Amino acid sequence: MTLATGIGSMPGTDFAAAMRLGLDELSLPYVPELPARGVHAGMIGRTLAVLDGLEADLQPDGWRIGVGEGADLRRARSLLAQDLDLAEELATEHEGPIKIQVTGPLTLAATVERPRGDKMLADHGARREIAQSLAEGLGAHVRDVRRRFSAADLVVQVDEPAITAVLTGGIPTASGWSRHRSVHPPEADALLRAVVEAITDAGARPVVHSCAPDVPVELLAGAGFAAISFDLGLVRPDDVWAETFEKGVDLWCGVLPSTDAGQVSQKAAVGQIETFFGRFGFTEETYSDRLVVTPTCGLAGASPQWARTVLVAAQSVASRR
């Protein structure tokens, strides 16, 4: 059976309403992120809240690893705990899969600053430190979430929107006059693999999401992710997708527009999926049980009405499979 889910972010500030929407309409509901509530509720703030052994505070330029727990990190941790309490209450009778999201180690290193300035990405030791902190904290976080949703099968989506820029040396330095050196694939593999192993060891299924046009498919599959989530309209249908699928990695296709487009064409979305898989000779019987339908990135920028429309449409497209 084909499932449907959202990427993670949702518009508005009403967590309960966003959570109920997923539970009511999606075959793979998820604990949403509502960045309109502030940076403490965004993907970076929520991920910093689960780190083990590293503290952070909020500076004018963004989050920075620091000494001691700052007030902003306390707020992020408190908000995450409140959201999980409410999600647990709302999903108490939910059976089947449910998803949470976390920022991956490469994007985290490219976003968060070191204590003395510039990104964690600038230093090999800092990259390793934040990845290890994430892996250790995420293991405990996953076990806590599994306890809360004891009847559900937990999926953990690792968001890596900056991974392609990290691998190709596209992240600007603090001055803006140059770029950070690229992270080579062997190191990237080690950082990702630590997070994947933490997720699987805690009893959940690891999935990776990247909304970049040039998704590093081989790297992500090699690191051990069970599925890759991507924007179908951005990627090239290269053979690596077919090879990865044949090796057992599932594909999550972003095919519904995340921003208000007036109307949603479910027929067009179905056609996109069929064309993509058909190019490799895969029939519907081959991929229907290994496909998840999603909107594209950026649902937080839509209206609440559009978010509902597009999630309902994603489920309708999935139900056609």
Give the pLDDT band of residue 112 (cuts 50, 70, 90).
very high
Partners of 154 in beta bridges: 98
Mean pLDDT of 290-299: 96
Burial per residue of 206-237, b for 16 or more beta-carbon CB atoms within 10 angstroms, e otherwise:
bbbbbbbeebbbebbbbbbbbbbbbbbeebee
Q: Residue 142 has what DSSP assignment?
A: H
Summarised one tens digit per residue, pLDDT across range 30-79 is 999 999 999 999 999 999 999 999 999 998 889 999 867 789 999 999 99
Q: What is the pLDDT of residue 310?
A: 96
HSE-up (13 A, CA, CB side) for residue 271:
4
Rounded Cα distance, 10 and 246, in Å: 33
Which of 147, 114, 253, 127 shows the shortest CA–CA distance to 192? 127
Q: What is the pLDDT of residue 37?
A: 97
Summarised one tens digit per residue, pLDDT across range 147-193 is 999 999 999 999 999 999 999 999 998 877 899 999 999 999 999 99
Rounded Cα distance, 109 and 103, in Å: 10
Fold of 3-319: TIM Barrel (3.20.20)
Q: What is the pLDDT of residue 321?
A: 66
Q: What is the pLDDT of residue 152?
A: 95
Give the pLDDT band of residue 117 (cuts 50, 70, 90).
confident
Rounded Cα distance, 76 and 117, in Å: 22
Q: Residue 82 has what DSSP assignment?
A: H
Rounded Cα distance, 67 and 83, in Å: 26
Q: Is the pLDDT of residue 196 over 80?
A: yes
Mean pLDDT of 284-294: 96
Q: What is the pLDDT of residue 263?
A: 79
Which of 45, 37, 111 shows the shortest CA–CA distance to 74? 45
Summarised one tens digit per residue, pLDDT across range 250-274 is 999 999 999 877 778 899 999 999 9
Tallying the residues shown for the chain, one arrives at 321
From the centroid of its chain, how far is CA 24?
Answer: 21
In this predicted structure, which of 4-8, 71-75, 131-135, 317-321 has the lowest mean pLDDT? 317-321
Q: How does the average pLDDT of the chain come out, rounded? A: 95
From the centroid of its chain, how far is CA 259?
Answer: 18
Q: Is the pLDDT of residue 141 over 70?
A: yes
CB atoms within 10 A of CB 111: 20
Domain limits, the chain: 3-319
Partners of 22 in beta bridges: none
Q: What is the pLDDT of residue 199?
A: 99
DSSP string, 58-103: EETTEEEEESS--HHHHHHHHHHHHHHHHHHHHTTT--EEEEEEEE
3-state secondary structure (DSSP) of residue 295: strand
Rounded Cα distance, 76 and 82, in Å: 10
Q: What is the pLDDT of residue 68?
A: 72
Q: What is the pLDDT of residue 108?
A: 98
Phi and psi dihedrals of 76, rounded to 5?
Answer: -65, -40
3-state secondary structure (DSSP) of residue 275: helix
Q: Is the pLDDT of residue 22 over 90?
A: yes
